[in-house]
Structure 1
Amino acid sequence: MEKMIGQETLREIDERIPDALRVAFGIHHRVLPPPGPGQHDEIASFAAALLAPRVVDDDSSEPSAAAPPQGGPLRLDFSSCYLPDHDEDAHFGHAETGVLGVADGVGGYRGRGVDAGAFAHGLMHSAFMEVVSAPPGAPVCPLTLLERAHEATAASRAAAASTAAVLSLYGRTLRWAYVGDSGFAVFRGGRMVARSTAQQHYFNCPVQLSSGSGSDRVDKAEVGEAPAKEGDVVVVGTDGLFDNVFDDEMERIVRMGTAMGFSTKNMADVIAGFAYEAARCAYRDTPYSVLSRRETGTNFTGGKPDDITVIVAFIVSQN
């Protein structure tokens, strides 16, 4: 982050990035005052240069399960950002086994006087303990891990319910399993090439895991795998991210971060920070407001304040 660009370091430019995002994506509030009449708007120029919509090209290819992985083994270099609202999200990452997980406690339990985050926290703790006790070098199956974590958490009689997403990288293959609206996106060459699709019973009621007899089963999980490539960027998050940030917005932020040499921590912070601001805007659309109008006939515009968990992982060479 100290590489020079003109007369400024990336660290100094980074201090302007939140305003650049606001300008590019129509969030009216700016931390720095707008320029006066006839003055050049450096922030708008910066946003236009680094957050321009992607030009379609053939330089990036979608991951295909049919394409055999080629080359040496890969690993995940990752960081996370958690911006709590009710503190009902949980997450973990384990570098040695290349496993990431997020969970989101179902907020509806909050109104019943129940700790809505209990099952999410138990689920991620159980998954982490499974991972650290696995034989060194053994591949981790996300679905099996989710099943075992659910069994352990349900046996503990943890309260409430949770959505969850687990991803693992082994060799050159990225695998996933998710339940509900916690999910992930994969970016290659500045383009989103893979994306989870939220599982919902109906609007704002995700498929969910719990200790109760009426719980959705882990076998409802969406599972899949695809060859990974060095340079891929993986973003894992709870619905606090995906409800408030459109795919093209996330794609442009990832391209910006890649162009500026962001660390995983930088990129996770910026994505989560933008989701936080978008969640609190009443005058611009979000995925949540668009779906609300389509599914329930409301005239709602704006975001959905929520816990926001973002994990950003760079797929890099094992060597």
Structure 2
Amino acid sequence: MEKHMAQTLIEIDSRIPDALRVAFGICRPSCPAILRGQQDEAANFAAVLLAPRDDAGASDPMDYDEAEPEGDLGMMFASSYIKDHDEDAHFGHAEAGVVGVADGVGGYRKKGVDASAFSRAIMHNAYAEVATAVPGTRICPRALLERAHQMTAAKHTPAASTAAIVSLAGRTLKWAYVGDSGFVVIRDGRILLRSRPQQHYFNCPYQLSSNQDCNRLADADVGEVAAKEGDIVILGTDGLFDNVFDDEIERIVRMGTALGFAPENMAEVMAGFACEAASCDDRDTPYSSLACRTQPGNAYFTGGKPDDITVVVVYIVSCPVRSQI
């Protein structure tokens, strides 16, 4: 299922353009210093490809009146996974048009429990359901997540997990998620839709488990939106969304689009950037910003949150591509 995995930080570091570090203030001490001339070149590159978008006069992204061609759309996607405690899991099946991610709740680690057990099982069961479905079946993410949860809980699998599943049915994107694993849909370089984390309180997301008293599928956020060819869906665990702001995601996607990145390139750069941001202690991140707003005594907290980072990048294309991860 997990087809692509970054093995080392050095490997992923080599794929991150210097323009990202210059534009977003990311510079890990272990990275070689950027020489003055190279820094100027990177800064110019960043100014062109990473400039904040001017949306003056932009049309409403929810306006779907434009005539769309007939016929189904398809998914072309790839993933990147950078381990910390190795408790994330994900799957994808392009022919069925469905991808998913899950993040094991790390608190179980302190109890001597394998915190990856539930996340891996729920993604394995979801993939098995998709792989054995009749070809052409249009997947309902909520029904799939419910079935995978039932199968996982029936075996009394330990620990707990957040989870998110996105499917493409014809020309409609559908989703279901529980907790702070989530997604963004990007159209024409800006975010059209974004999942909102479900949390009981700071750093305590909704989660699925074998415990009947835990969150249930009734708590899942579900929905759908009309898809267009050229849309890009970024699915990720909180290792991505805790460390990368929405506008940074948009700008990285615009840079990758301008450079002709394939989904694999985009996923690697996005995950690598999140990993570097997680290790920084001198810049704001979504995690530090939320801590400052909600936690007394953290008014001046900065920095990222080291974590497993899973990124699945989906390109919506005019014809299906047969692959799976």
Quote the residue 1:87 is aligned against.
86
Amino acid in the other structure paired with 1:41: D
Is 1:311 the equivalent of 2:301?
A: no
Quote the residue 2:210 is aligned against.
211
Secondary structure in structure 2 of the residue aligned to 1:41: helix
Structure-1 separation of matches of 2:39 and 2:289: 35
Structure-2 separation of matches of 1:139 and 1:177: 15
Map 1:215-234; keep pairs closer than 5 Å. Answer: 215-234=214-233
Quote the residue 2:5 is aligned against.
none
8 A contact 2:15–2:269 mirrored in 1: no
Instruction: Give the unaligned 5+ runs of structure 1.
Output: 1-13
Structure-2 separation of matches of 1:16 and 1:118: 31
Structure-2 separation of matches of 1:39 and 1:88: 38
Structure-1 separation of matches of 2:201 and 2:49: 37
8 A contact 1:201–1:207 mirrored in 2: yes
Map 1:106-145; keep pairs closer than 5 Å. Answer: 106-145=105-144
Give the CA deviation at 1:61: 4.7
Amino acid in the other structure paired with 1:293: C
Map 1:1-319; keep pairs closer than 5 Å. Answer: 17-29=16-28, 31-36=31-36, 41-57=40-56, 61-63=60-62, 70-297=69-296, 298=298, 299-318=300-319
Secondary structure in structure 1 of the residue aligned to 2:244: coil
Structure-2 separation of matches of 1:224 and 1:118: 28
Higher RCO (C-alpha under 8 Å, 6+ residues apart): 2
Give the CA deviation at 1:19: 1.8
Question: In percent, how many aligned pairs have the same letter?
Answer: 62
8 A contact 2:138–2:169 mirrored in 1: yes
Secondary structure in structure 1 of the residue aligned to 2:17: helix
8 A contact 2:28–2:280 mirrored in 1: no
Structure-2 separation of matches of 1:34 and 1:122: 44
Would the alpha carbon gap of residues 157 and 40 (structure 1) be closer, same or farther in structure 2, given more than 3 Å must change? closer
Give the CA deviation at 1:32: 4.7
Secondary structure in structure 1 of the residue aligned to 2:108: helix
Structure-2 separation of matches of 1:41 and 1:123: 47
Quote the residue 1:4 is aligned against.
none
Quote the residue 1:9 is aligned against.
none
Secondary structure in structure 1 of the residue aligned to 2:240: helix
Structure-2 separation of matches of 1:242 and 1:39: 30
Secondary structure in structure 2 of the residue aligned to 1:244: coil
Give the CA deviation at 1:59: 5.8
Amino acid in the other structure paired with 2:33: P
The CA RMSD over aligned residues, in Å, is 2.1
Structure-2 separation of matches of 1:27 and 1:294: 23
Would the alpha carbon gap of residues 15 and 204 (structure 1) be closer, same or farther in structure 2, given more than 3 Å must change? closer
Amino acid in the other structure paired with 1:172: R
Structure-1 separation of matches of 2:14 and 2:199: 38
Give the CA deviation at 1:161: 0.3
Amino acid in the other structure paired with 1:214: D
Q: TM-score, normalised by structure 1?
A: 0.91
Would the alpha carbon gap of residues 295 and 189 (structure 1) be closer, same or farther in structure 2, given more than 3 Å must change? same
Structure-2 separation of matches of 1:308 and 1:262: 20
Amino acid in the other structure paired with 2:307: D
Structure-1 separation of matches of 2:64 and 2:39: 49
Of stretches 249-258 and 131-140 in structure 1, the one that deviates more from structure 2 is 131-140
Amino acid in the other structure paired with 1:126: N
8 A contact 1:69–1:228 mirrored in 2: no
Amino acid in the other structure paired with 2:99: L
Structure-2 separation of matches of 1:212 and 1:227: 36
8 A contact 1:65–1:226 mirrored in 2: no
8 A contact 2:16–2:273 mirrored in 1: no
8 A contact 2:89–2:120 mirrored in 1: yes
Give the CA deviation at 1:64: 6.2
8 A contact 1:73–1:318 mirrored in 2: yes
Structure-1 separation of matches of 2:39 and 2:204: 47
Instruction: Give the unaligned 5+ runs of structure 2.
Output: 1-12, 321-325
Amino acid in the other structure paired with 1:303: G
Quote the residue 2:8 is aligned against.
none
Q: TM-score, normalised by structure 2?
A: 0.89
Amino acid in the other structure paired with 1:117: S
8 A contact 2:102–2:237 mirrored in 1: yes
Structure-2 separation of matches of 1:28 and 1:294: 26
Amino acid in the other structure paired with 2:294: E
Amino acid in the other structure paired with 1:189: D
